[in-house]
Structure 1
Amino acid sequence: MRQPVYRSFWIASLVSNLGTWMHEIGAGWLMTDLDASPQMVSMVRTAMATPIVLLAIPAGVLADRIDRRKLLLVTQFILLLSTGSLAVLAATGVVTSWLLLGLTFVIGLGLTLHVPTWQASIPELVERKQLSRAIALGSLNFNLARAVGPALAGALVAITGSWIAFSVNAFSFAGVIVVLLMWKRNRSESSRGLSFRKSLYQGIRYVYRTDDMRHVLFRVMLFIIPASALWGLLPLVARERLHWDADGFGLLVTCFGAGAVIAARFLHRLHHRVGNNTTIAFAMVLMGVGLCVMGTSSQGWVAVISMLIMGFGWMMTLTTLNTAAQTILPGRMRARGMSFYLTSLALSMSSGSLLWGYVAEFDWVGVGGAQKIAGLTLLCTAAIGMLFRVTEKTRH
C-alpha cells in the first residue's frame, strides 16, 4: 500500500467491488422474482461465466500484445454501459428473465477482458518481492467488499428494488476509469512481435509443458465444480429454505465475506507453517463441511455459521491457487497464463452451477440435498487434489 499507484487502484477497486457485490445480490434476487426455478436461478451464474469460458484465453493473448491500460479502459466502459442499461430496464419494470440473462452475459464479456488484463498488470504496480502481499491485499479488497456490499444491497433492494443495486454498480466503474486515465504505464515485456496465432500457441504450449501450472488449473476445477453449489443455489436457500427476504440474502453473503476477511489474517501464517498444498486441502474440507451443514438444516443461525466457515475456506483456497499461478508465470506470459486460470475457474463455475441446479430439480433431492452431495464431493476432491501438488518454492 506504500506504492501510490497501487494504492489508488486498490481504493478504486474497493468501490468497484462494492458495486459488483451489490449487483450480484440484485441479479440473483431479481431472478427469484422473475422465475424461481432452480435451473433459471443458477443460470444467472452460468450467463456470467460463459463468455469467460469462451473468450478468456483470446483475451489473455490480447492483453499480452496491446497496451493493458487502454484495454482496461475499454472494459470499464463496456461494464458501465451494460450495468446502466440493466438498471434502466429494472427501474422501468420491463426486464424479463431472458433480458436479465442476456445483459448478464454482456457483463461477463466485459469481465472476461478485464480480469486477466488486471491480474497481469499487478506486477507492474509493485516490486517482485511484494507480489504475494499485493495479491493477498487484492483478495482482502474483494472480500471486504463482499462483507459490506451484500448487506447494503439487501437493505436497498428490500426497500427500492434491484434497480438500485445495478445503478450503484454502474457508477462504481467511474472511479476506476479516472485512476486508469491518471496511470502513466511503463513499457513492459510483451509478445507484440508475434502474430496472434503464435502468441496463442506459445501460451498453450507453456501451460501444457509446466507441471505446476497444470496442477493449479486442475485443483481449481476440483474445488469450484462442487463449491459452485453454494452460489448457484444460494438465492433459493434464502427464499425457500430460510424464508428470508433480500435483506436476509444479503446477510448470508456478508457473513461469507466476513469469513474471508478473517481468513486473510491467518493465510500467510498458515502458508508458512504447512505450505500451499496442505492449506488448499484444509480449506476445501472446510468448504465441504460448510455445504453439508447448510444443506442439513433450515435454521438461520446454522446458515450464518456455515457461510462464515465457507468464506474462510473459499478465500484460502482461491488466494493460494491464484498466488501460485502468478508466481509460476513469467512476465511476458502472465496475461495468457492467467487467462487459462480464469477459464478453468469460469468453466468449473458455469458447468457446476448448471449441474447443481439440475440436481436440485429432483423432488427427492431438492436444494438441501444438492448442497449435501456437493459438500461430500468436496471432501473427496480435497484428498484427490493432494496427488497434484504445486511446488512450494516461489519462482522468480
Structure 2
Amino acid sequence: MADAGIGATTGERPPSIVQVLAHRPDFRNLWLGTLATQSGQWVLQVAIGWLMLDLTDSAFWVGLTGFAGGMPMLLLAIPAGVATDRFDRRSVLRTCQLGLSVLGLALATAVLLDIVTPWQLLLGAACNGSLMTINNTARQTMIPATVPRQEIASAIAYNTAGQSATRLVGPSLAGFSIAAVGGAGAFGLQAVCLALALLLTLQLPSESDNATTQRRRAPGALEGVRAVRQDRLLRDLILLAGIPTFAVFPYMQLLPVYARDILAIGPQGLGLLLASSGCGAVIGALLVGRTSPSRQAGRTLFAATIAYCLLVLGFAYAKSVWLSAPLLVFAGITGSAYLSLNNAILQMHVTDELRGRVVGVSMLTWGLMPLGALPMGFLAEHVGAPAAIASGVLLAIGLTISLSFGSPLLAARLPNEQV
C-alpha cells in the first residue's frame, strides 16, 4: 500500500492526476499499462468492425461482432473475479496481456495471407473479449493497493480517464493504419501495444503471500453474488450500471455505419467520432477525480444517466459531423462521470478479501452490452441505425426512472465514508 502524503483529507480537495502519478509509482505503472492495453483494444475493435463491414456490407454482422466480443464478459466475469482473488493479480494480468498480443499477431497474419473470414473475425472478437474480461477485472482490483485509502476514489477516476484517453489515440491510429496499410497493420499495432503493457506490468511488485492467502481463505466463488444480493447499495449500483450498458452503449458498434453510410466520413472520420467520445470521457473522469465526495452521489448518478441517454439520442439523429462530434463529447463527459462515481462508491464499499468477486459481479453489467448489441444491430438492419439507437435510449430512460422510484438508498444522501 502506498504511504500517506498527498491524499485528500476531510475538507480538502483531492489530489490532481499529476500529483498521483508523480507520487505513486505503482499506480503510475498500472495506469500507463492501462493506456497501452486500452489503446490496443480500441485499435482491435475498430479494425474488426471495419473489416466486418467491408466483408459483409451488413450492419447486423457489425452488431454480431459486438455480441461475440462482449458475451464473454457475461460468461466469465464471476470466474474472473474469483481468479483475481485466488491468484497473484500481477501474474493474472501478465498472462492476459501475453495472450492478447498473440491474438493480434494471429489476426494480422490472417489478413496478410488474405484468408480472413467473417467467422474468423467473430472468433477473434470472442477470444479478445474473454482475455479482456480477466484483464479488466484484475486491473480494477489492483487499484486500491497502489494508493492510500483517501485517494482511492480519485485513483479510480483517473484510471477511467486514462482508459477514456485511449479513445483519442487508439481509434485514430486504427483509422489511419487501416487507410494506410490495411487491417494487418492495425492488428500488428495492437500486438505492439499489448507487448508494451506487459513490460509495464512486470514493473509492478508481486503481491505478498500473506495477502493472497487471506483472499483464498475468504468464502467461496458465489460469495460476491451473495454480498451484492444482501447489500442494497451494491445491488442498486450494479443495476444502475447495467441499464445503459444493455440499452445504450451498443450504439458504439454502429459507429462504422454512421461513418460510412450516414455521415460519409470514412475510416478517418470513424476515428474522429470515437475520439470525440473519448475526449468527453477524459474530461468527465478528471472532474470526478478532482471533486470532493458528495453527499448526493446517488442523485448525481441518476441525473448523469438520464443526461447521457438524451445526448446519445441527439447524436442518433444528427446528420452532420459538426453536430455529431460535439454531442459525443458531452455524452462522453456525462457517461464517464457516472461510471467513475459508480465504480468509486463500489470499490470503497467492499473489503479486499471480496474485492475481486464483487468487482466480477459488477463486470457482469458489461456482459449485457452484447445482449443489447444484437437486437440493436438487427433493428438497424431493418429500420435504420437512428431508430435502433432511439429505441434503446427510451428503454434506458424508462428503466432508470423506475429504478429511482424504487431505490431510496441511491436517491437519498450518501454519507462521506461511502463516497
Partner residue, 2:14: none
Counterpart-to-counterpart distance in 2, 1:325 and 1:315: 15
- Where 1:297 maps in the other structure, the secondary structure is coil
**1:274 offset after TM fit, Å?**
6.8
The answer to whether residue 38 in structure 2 is matched with residue 17 in structure 1 is yes
Residue identity opposite 1:193 in structure 2: R
Structure 2 runs not aligned, ≥5 long: 1-20
Partner residue, 2:384: 366
**1:28 offset after TM fit, Å?**
1.2
Counterpart-to-counterpart distance in 2, 1:321 and 1:130: 16
**1:50 offset after TM fit, Å?**
1.1
Partner residue, 1:193: 217
Counterpart-to-counterpart distance in 2, 1:317 and 1:345: 15
Partner residue, 1:392: 414
| Cα distance change, pair 204–165 in 1 and its aligned pair in 2 (3 A) | same
Question: Which of 225, 230, 252 does residue 231 from structure 1 map onto?
Answer: 252
Counterpart-to-counterpart distance in 1, 2:197 and 2:36: 9
Counterpart-to-counterpart distance in 1, 2:290 and 2:79: 37
TM-score (norm 1): 0.93
Partner residue, 2:184: 163
Question: Which of 241, 251, 254 does residue 272 from structure 2 map onto?
Answer: 251
Is the 8 Å Cα contact of residues 40 and 170 (structure 2) preserved in structure 1?
A: yes
| Cα distance change, pair 163–55 in 1 and its aligned pair in 2 (3 A) | same
Counterpart-to-counterpart distance in 2, 1:217 and 1:271: 23
Partner residue, 1:300: 321
State the Cα deviation string for residues 167-219 of structure 1 (Å, max 9, x = none).
1111112222223323222422633236xxx5113222212111111111111
- Where 1:191 maps in the other structure, the secondary structure is helix
Partner residue, 2:53: 32
State the Cα deviation string for residues 239-294 of structure 1 (Å, max 9, x = none).
11112210011100001011112223433566756732222222222222222222
Is the 8 Å Cα contact of residues 161 and 283 (structure 2) preserved in structure 1?
A: no
The answer to whether residue 368 in structure 2 is matched with residue 351 in structure 1 is no
Counterpart-to-counterpart distance in 1, 2:285 and 2:312: 21
State the Cα deviation string for residues 35-80 of structure 1 (Å, max 9, x = none).
1322210111111111111111012112111111211111111111
Is the 8 Å Cα contact of residues 291 and 374 (structure 1) preserved in structure 2?
A: no
TM-score (norm 2): 0.88
Partner residue, 2:348: 327
Point out the more displaced range, 155-164 or 252-261: 155-164
Point out the more displaced range, 182-191 or 76-85: 182-191
- Where 2:60 maps in the other structure, the secondary structure is helix
- Where 1:238 maps in the other structure, the secondary structure is helix
Is the 8 Å Cα contact of residues 85 and 354 (structure 2) preserved in structure 1?
A: yes
- Where 2:276 maps in the other structure, the secondary structure is helix
Counterpart-to-counterpart distance in 2, 1:265 and 1:177: 26
Is the 8 Å Cα contact of residues 60 and 337 (structure 1) preserved in structure 2?
A: yes
Count the aligned residue pairs.
Answer: 390
For 1:1-396, what aligned pairs fall within 5 Å after superposition? Answer: 1=21, 2-187=23-208, 188=211, 190-193=214-217, 199-268=220-289, 272=293, 275-346=296-367, 348-362=368-382, 365-387=383-405, 388=407, 389-390=409-410, 392-393=414-415, 394-395=417-418
Is the 8 Å Cα contact of residues 227 and 287 (structure 1) preserved in structure 2?
A: no
Counterpart-to-counterpart distance in 1, 2:142 and 2:333: 27
Counterpart-to-counterpart distance in 2, 1:78 and 1:177: 10
Structure 1 runs not aligned, ≥5 long: none
Is the 8 Å Cα contact of residues 73 and 363 (structure 2) preserved in structure 1?
A: yes
**1:386 offset after TM fit, Å?**
2.1
**1:85 offset after TM fit, Å?**
0.6
